[in-house]
C-alpha cells in the first residue's frame, strides 16, 4: 500500500463502492483507526459536486450521534478528494441481510429505529442523506447500525432532467419518485427510502422488483404502494401500514419527519409485538455471523 493520505497512514483497502474506494487508515496523532473514502474520479472531477460536497462535509463534521458515522476531515489534494470518517468495525446491513435473510419484526423495527434517530439528527443539521439503503447502514459488533455516505448519491453522468436523477450503487430500489424525476429532494425522500427499507426488512424483498433499473423506477412512480402483509402474511397490519405511509408517492402524504415516523413505528411495534419488543430487537448475533463469513477467504 502506498505511503499515506495526508497525515493518515493507509493500512489497507476495506472495499469499493460506486462512490469511491474506502481505505482503513491510522490517524497517527491520536492512534485512532479511521476509514477514508477516496471519492470516485467521476465525483472528484466534477467541480460542482465537490463544491456542494465540501459544504456538506462541513455540516457532516457536526454529526454527533451513535447512529451516524462521524466525519473527521475532508482532504482535496487535486485531482483527488477524500472523506475521513469513523471506522465502523462490523458489517453492512446488506451483508447481514444476505446471510440472515429476513429479520424478525422486532429486529426490523429496531434497525429502523436506529436509522430514523440518526436521520432525525442529520435532518436537524439540514443534511439530507439521499441514499438510504442497506449498503449504507454499517452495523458494529454491538449490533448498532450507523448511517454512512451522507450526500454521496451521485449525479448520473449525462442524465438530463427526468432521467435517473441520481445513480445509486446498485438498483434504484429505495429511490423516491421525486428523486427519480430529477426534482429537488428534501428529508421526505429519506423517509421514503426508510419506508422501502422497512418493507424489505419485514418481507425479505424490496417493494418493487423488475428486470431493469428503469422498470423499477417506473414502478416507484406508477405502481400502487404494496402492502408488506400481502407479501408476507406474518407481518402485522400496524407495522405494514407504517411502511406503506412512508412510501406514499406524494411527500405530503408521508410522515413529515423522522421523529413522526419513529413515533408511529414504536406505537405499532408495541401493539403488534408487545411492549417489550425492543428486548428482542438486537441484531448483534446476525452481525457476528456476517463478520465471521466475511473473514473467510
- Please, what is the minimum distance in Å from the beta carbon of residue 211 to ligand 3AM? 24
Are 168 and 155 spatial neighbours (Cβ–Cβ below 8 Å)?
no
User: Please, what is the end-to-end C-alpha distance for the chain in angstroms?
Assistant: 20
Give the x/- contact pattern for ligand 3AM in 36-75, rule: CB under 6 A. ---------------------------------x------
- Which residues lie across from 91 on neighbouring strands? 139
Distance CA 297, CA 290 (A): 13
Selected from 5, 35, 44, 217, the binder of ligand 3AM by CB under 6 A is 35
Say if residue 60 is preceded by a cis peptide, omega within 30 of 0.
Answer: no
If you ran DSSP here, which 8-state letter would residue 280 be given? G
Say whether residue 137 binds ligand 3AM (CB under 6 A). no
Distance CA 198, CA 108 (A): 7
- Please, what is the minimum distance in Å from the beta carbon of residue 144 to ligand 3AM? 13
- Please, what is the minimum distance in Å from the beta carbon of residue 115 to ligand 3AM? 15
Backbone dihedral region of 174: left (phi > 0), alpha (psi from -120 to 50 degrees) or beta?
alpha
List all residues 6 or more positions away from 250 whose beta carbon is below 8 Å from its beta carbon: none
Give the x/- contact pattern for ligand 3AM in 81-110, rule: CB under 6 A. ----xxxx---x------------------
Residue count at the site for ligand 3AM (CB under 6 A)? 14
Say whether residue 22 binds ligand 3AM (CB under 6 A). yes
- Which residues lie across from 24 on neighbouring strands? 12, 35
If you ran DSSP here, which 8-state letter would residue 227 be given? P
Say whether residue 14 binds ligand 3AM (CB under 6 A). yes
Q: Which residues are catalytic?
A: 131
- Output 87 or 277, the one with its CB closest to ligand 3AM: 87
Q: Which grid cell sits at 252?
A: 405530503
Say whether residue 15 binds ligand 3AM (CB under 6 A). yes
Selected from 93, 111, 138, 147, the binder of ligand 3AM by CB under 6 A is 138
Which residues are at the interface with ligand 3AM (CB under 6 A)?
Answer: 14-17, 22, 35, 69, 85-88, 92, 138, 148
Amino acid at each position: 500500500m502506498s505511503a499515506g493520505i495526508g497525515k493518515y497512514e493507509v493500512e489497507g483497502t476495506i472495499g469499493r463502492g460506486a462512490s469511491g474506494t474506502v481505505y482503513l487508515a491510522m490517524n497517527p496523532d491520536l492512534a485512532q483507526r479511521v476509514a477514508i473514502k477516496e471519492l470516485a474520479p467521476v465525483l472528484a472531477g466534477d467541480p460542482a459536486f465537490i463544491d456542494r460536497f465540501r459544504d456538506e462535509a462541513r455540516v457532516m463534521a457536526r454529526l454527533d450521534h451513535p447512529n451516524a458515522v462521524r466525519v473527521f476531515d475532508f482532504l482535496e489534494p487535486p485531482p483527488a478528494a477524500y472523506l475521513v470518517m469513523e471506522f465502523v468495525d462490523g458489517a453492512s446491513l446488506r451483508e447481514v441481510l444476505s446471510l440472515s435473510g429476513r429479520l424478525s419484526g422486532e429486529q426490523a423495527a429496531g434497525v429502523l429505529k436506529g436509522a430514523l434517530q440518526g436521520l432525525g439528527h442529520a435532518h436537524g443539521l439540514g443534511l439530507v442523506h439521499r441514499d438510504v439503503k442497506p449498503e449504507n447502514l454499517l452495523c458494529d459488533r454491538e449490533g448498532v447500525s450507523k448511517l454512512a455516505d451522507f450526500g454521496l448519491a451521485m449525479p448520473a453522468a449525462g442524465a438530463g432532467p427526468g432521467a435517473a436523477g441520481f445513480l445509486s450503487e446498485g438498483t434504484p430500489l429505495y429511490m423516491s419518485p421525486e428523486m427519480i424525476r430529477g426534482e429537488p429532494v428534501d428529508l421526505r425522500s429519506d423517509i421514503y427510502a426508510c419506508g422501502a427499507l422497512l418493507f424489505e426488512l419485514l418481507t425479505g424483498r424490496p417493494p418493487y422488483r423488475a428486470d431493469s433499473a428503469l422498470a423499477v423506477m417506473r414502478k416507484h412512480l406508477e405502481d400502487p404502494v404494496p402492502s408488506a402483509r400481502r407479501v408476507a402474511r406474518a407481518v402485522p397490519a400496524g407495522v405494514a401500514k407504517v411502511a406503506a405511509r412512508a412510501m406514499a408517492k406524494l411527500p405530503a402524504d408521508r410522515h413529515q419527519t423522522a421523529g413522526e415516523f419513529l413515533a408511529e413505528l414504536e406505537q405499532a411495534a408495541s401493539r403488534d409485538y408487545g411492549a417489550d419488543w425492543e428486548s428482542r430487537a438486537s441484531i448483534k448475533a446476525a452481525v457476528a455471523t456476517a463478520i465471521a463469513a466475511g473473514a473467510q477467504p
